Amino acid sequence: MSSPAPHLSLYYFDSCGYCRRVRQVIEELGVPVELRNIQHSAEHYEALLAARGRRTVPVLRIDRAEGSSEWLPESQDIIAWLRQQHTAGALA
């Protein structure tokens, strides 16, 4: 039996080209991801800064059902992770 799909949140801002690439892949794969624009929300900005110590985006937050969280930076790493998880059926 597989574990439930993790809750995904993408920390980004609109004018970031790397963020746009990640968002295109999210749309292409049809993966449910909560978008958290750090320029429009002080709460999202502060959460990113507290977790990572910097405001560099994109960053994908992966919240797993058992309660663990992972912060995945770097657009190419995020895209590779999304594609691998989608192929494995883990993001249903």
CB 75, CB 22: distance < 8 Å:
yes
Domain tally, the chain: 1
Q: What is the pLDDT of residues 25-75, one digit of tens each?
A: 999 999 999 999 999 999 999 999 999 999 999 999 999 999 999 999 999
The CATH number linked to 19 is 3.40.30.10
Tokens coding 54: 């910097």
Contacts 24+ apart (CB under 8 A), 22-25: 22/58, 22/60, 22/75, 22/78, 22/79, 22/82, 25/79, 25/82, 25/83
Q: What is the pLDDT of residue 92?
A: 60
**This prediction's pTM:** 0.92
* Cis amide prior to 58 (ω within 30 degrees): yes
92, part of any domain:
no
Asked whether residue 2 carries a pLDDT value surpassing 70, the answer given is no
Residue 1 pLDDT > 60: no
| Residue 18 belongs to domain spanning | 7-87
